[in-house]
Structure 1
Amino acid sequence: MKGWLCTLLLLESFVFVVQQQVDGGLAENEISQQLSNEDRRQNPPQTDSLRDEASTDSQQYCHLSFPDIHAALRELTATVTEQKAHIRALETQLREDLNKKTDALETRLTDAEKTAEQQTVILEELNKKTDEISNLTESQVEELRKENRDREIAFSASLMESGSGHIGPFTTDITLTYRNVFTNIGNAYNPITGIFTAPLKAAYMFTFSVYDHANPSTPSTVSIMKNGEKVVMAHGHQAQYVVNSSNGVVLILEVGDVVYVRLWSGRRIHDNLNNHNTFSGYLLFPLK
């Protein structure tokens, strides 16, 4: 029993001593910690001093650099503002130029449209005039053809269609009828009456010839007559062989004027298949 008591007492003593050492160690640690902190405050380490110096230099550098950056920013801002103003001016100028060009193009387009309309109107007028000219030309051509047909006037004929013989003498002047027609373009000459009737006002050329066997007592005399008036004559008279004579004249005739050949009274002529006695005429040109 006493042994157990002694053992317990020894354990309690050991625990107390350990507890005191532990408590003392903790206090020493706190004291050391406090001493260490105080020493750091009074004597800061070298690295902290270097850090502070670097921080101070950085601040000084930043203080030194900030004015330059602000100036550069202001200059850049001014440049950008100037560029913006320049760009706006260019935009305004370009817009004005574009508007001017657009207006000019619209004006040209309007002028072109007007010109096209004018050309269309002119073309329509030209087409109308062309049609009118075409129609007029056709009518004029027809008129010219008619005029040409009217101008196609010519005739030539001899006295006898067949056989041979004398004509005359008669106690009065007689109109000779040249029945053997060679040409009668325009049908202005009438072989039944021997009369040429002018179809239009114009200048006409007429010729005629006279032939007979020689007869000392009876001459051969004929005249071209215009509307009953003697104009020119052909005359032949000799005692032997044959008698030949001819003549011609240009006459201005009105429409309806008549031209023919008359054998004088007491005169004679002779004709046969050789067609010695002829009467011819043709239009030279029309007159207004």
Structure 2
Amino acid sequence: MNPPQQVDGGLAENEISQQLSNEDRRQNPPQTDSLRDEASTDSQQYCHLSFPDIHAALRELTATVTEQKANIRVLETQLRDAQKTAEQQTVILEDLNKKTDEISNLTESQVEELRKENRDREIAFSASLMESGNSGYIGPFSTEITLTYRNVFTNIGNAYNPITGIFTAPLKGAYMFTFSIYGHASPSTASTVFIVKNGEKVVVAHAHQAQYAVNSSKGVVLILEVGDVVYVRLWSNRRIFDSHDNHNTFSGYLLFPLK
């Protein structure tokens, strides 16, 4: 091998090349580490910019989920209330259907029994003393007498007997009775009658004057048991007058039944 050639200044060619290479590296140093550092810095900056956005998105999503859960609870409550209302309406409807079935299942005999019960509660009568075309005085008598009101206007329930003048209660209840009297004036004789329940005097109607006509009327509500009797009697030594004008009347009717 030939030895390195010398150049001016005493340096061989290999030494010259090595010096040139070292000079070039000093003027243009490697950029690998610098680029790596810049990339790392950019990545850190990117991560630093992205994390706050992710946390905000998560908070917003959490708030939305919480709101939706609250809405779901409200809807569940409304659904339970609606189901409860529907169940109550179903019970009411079932009761109505049951009552309808009970009514529709009534036999003819039961219907007739109900009708009969209503008819039994229809009690009313009204009558005057003189039959049509008659007129005159009744009394005076030395003892009391029961007046028989023979001219019957109304006798629903047939509880009044025009032969005896007695009303007999067909059922327990509250009854209203009224009666009126009429007489001609007399210096010595008054017109006096009274209503009687089971033999006991209850209410008296009295009228007396020396001239012209006299009249009076009374009314009373009585509680009667089945079979109790009510009638009107003329006081002893009293007299009344009646004609086709029906001045003297006796009436009664059931106000309402009692248990």
TM range (shorter): 0.5 to 0.7
Deviation per residue, 1:116-165 (Å, 9 max, x gap): 99999999999998654433486654333222101111000000003410
Distance 2:244 2:98 in 1: 62
Match of 1:286 in 2: 257
Distance 1:81 1:167 in 2: 101
| Residues 1:70 and 1:282: Cα distance change in structure 2 (over 3 Å) | closer
Structure ID, larger Rg: 1
User: What secondary structure, in the 3-state scheme, does the structure 2 residue paired with 1:36 have?
Assistant: helix
Distance 1:90 1:130 in 2: 37
| Residues 1:86 and 1:35: Cα distance change in structure 2 (over 3 Å) | farther
Distance 2:249 2:57 in 1: 131
197-206 or 50-59, which deviates more: 50-59
User: Which of 39, 44, 47 is residue 59 of structure 1 equivalent to?
Assistant: 44
Match of 1:261 in 2: 232
35-44 or 275-284, which deviates more: 35-44
Percent identity over paired residues: 91
Distance 1:233 1:78 in 2: 92
| Residues 1:209 and 1:35: Cα distance change in structure 2 (over 3 Å) | closer
Match of 2:129 in 1: 159
Distance 1:60 1:219 in 2: 131
Task: Flag structure 2 segments of 5+ consecutive residues without an equivalent.
Answer: none
Deviation per residue, 1:168-189 (Å, 9 max, x gap): 0011110000000000000000
| Residues 1:65 and 1:28: Cα distance change in structure 2 (over 3 Å) | farther
209-218 or 159-168, which deviates more: 159-168
| Residues 1:31 and 1:49: Cα distance change in structure 2 (over 3 Å) | farther
| Residues 1:50 and 1:85: Cα distance change in structure 2 (over 3 Å) | same
Distance 1:165 1:82 in 2: 101
Distance 2:208 2:78 in 1: 115
Contact kept in structure 1, 2:7 and 2:13, CA below 8 Å:
no
Contact kept in structure 1, 2:6 and 2:12, CA below 8 Å:
no
151-160 or 40-49, which deviates more: 40-49
Distance 2:127 2:189 in 1: 25
Match of 1:71 in 2: 56
Distance 1:74 1:210 in 2: 101
User: Which of 222, 245, 255 is residue 274 of structure 1 equivalent to?
Assistant: 245
User: What secondary structure, in the 3-state scheme, does the structure 1 residue paired with 2:251 have?
Assistant: strand
165-174 or 112-121, which deviates more: 112-121
More helix by share: 1
The alpha carbon displacement at 1:68 in A equals: 49
Deviation per residue, 1:254-288 (Å, 9 max, x gap): 00000000001100000000000000000100000
Distance 2:178 2:210 in 1: 26
Task: Flag structure 1 segments of 5+ consecutive residues without an equivalent.
Answer: 1-19, 96-110
Distance 2:57 2:37 in 1: 30
The alpha carbon displacement at 1:64 in A equals: 53
Distance 1:153 1:93 in 2: 57
| Residues 1:30 and 1:114: Cα distance change in structure 2 (over 3 Å) | closer
Distance 1:219 1:70 in 2: 116
| Residues 1:65 and 1:41: Cα distance change in structure 2 (over 3 Å) | farther
Distance 1:158 1:234 in 2: 16
The alpha carbon displacement at 1:166 in A equals: 0.2
| Residues 1:37 and 1:192: Cα distance change in structure 2 (over 3 Å) | closer
Match of 1:212 in 2: 183
Q: CA RMSD in A?
A: 14.0
Distance 2:248 2:52 in 1: 143
Distance 1:89 1:168 in 2: 91
Distance 1:92 1:287 in 2: 51
The alpha carbon displacement at 1:27 in A equals: 82
Distance 1:79 1:241 in 2: 103
| Residues 1:135 and 1:218: Cα distance change in structure 2 (over 3 Å) | same
The alpha carbon displacement at 1:218 in A equals: 0.5
232-241 or 47-56, which deviates more: 47-56
